[in-house]
Homo-oligomer: A and B are copies of this chain.
Amino acid sequence: MTDLRKTVERFWAAAEARDWDAFAGTLAEDVVYTLPQTRERIRGRERYVRFNREYPGDWRLRVERIVAEPGQVVTWIHFTVGLEEMYGISFFTGTERIDAITDFWPEPYEPPAGREHLVERY
């Protein structure tokens, strides 16, 4: 159990609870948030808290898996907005507070042809 792991657990619990003061408390003031899929970046705690607070929809989340080592944590979350279900994968770095977050939001797609002899669908 690393300190950053505990911080990330509090980060997600605070987001789910809309406790934006507790959420801000997990973040370094100069936190950097990066979304490689859209090539978007948000700099600073105030903007990043606002981004989350303003995020539209009655979203709910639960942590599916967490992997941590000193200074680095990854979470896989299950995220729902109404009937829409998504996965979110987040890479965190930091010490006690979170310095950087990089998020991925993979979407469903149809499997390419040619591998039916190897796979099953579930």
Residues of A within 8 A of B (CB): 34-43, 47-48, 50-51, 54, 56, 65, 67-69, 72-74, 76, 87, 89, 91, 104-111, 114-115, 118-122
Partner of A119, one of B36, B42, B56, B67: B42
- In the complex with contacts A67-B74, A120-B43, A38-B104 CB distance below 8 A: no
23 example contacts (A-B, Cβ-Cβ < 8 A) are as follows: A36-B106, A37-B106, A37-B107, A37-B108, A40-B111, A40-B119, A41-B119, A41-B120, A41-B121, A42-B118, A47-B118, A48-B118, A65-B72, A67-B67, A67-B69, A67-B72, A67-B74, A68-B69, A69-B69, A104-B104, A104-B106, A107-B107, A107-B109
Q: How many copies does the complex hold?
A: 2
- In order of increasing CB-CB distance, the 10 nearest A-B pairs are A106-B106, A38-B111, A104-B106, A74-B74, A40-B119, A67-B72, A47-B118, A67-B74, A51-B118, A39-B122
Partner of A109, one of B38, B41, B65, B108: B38
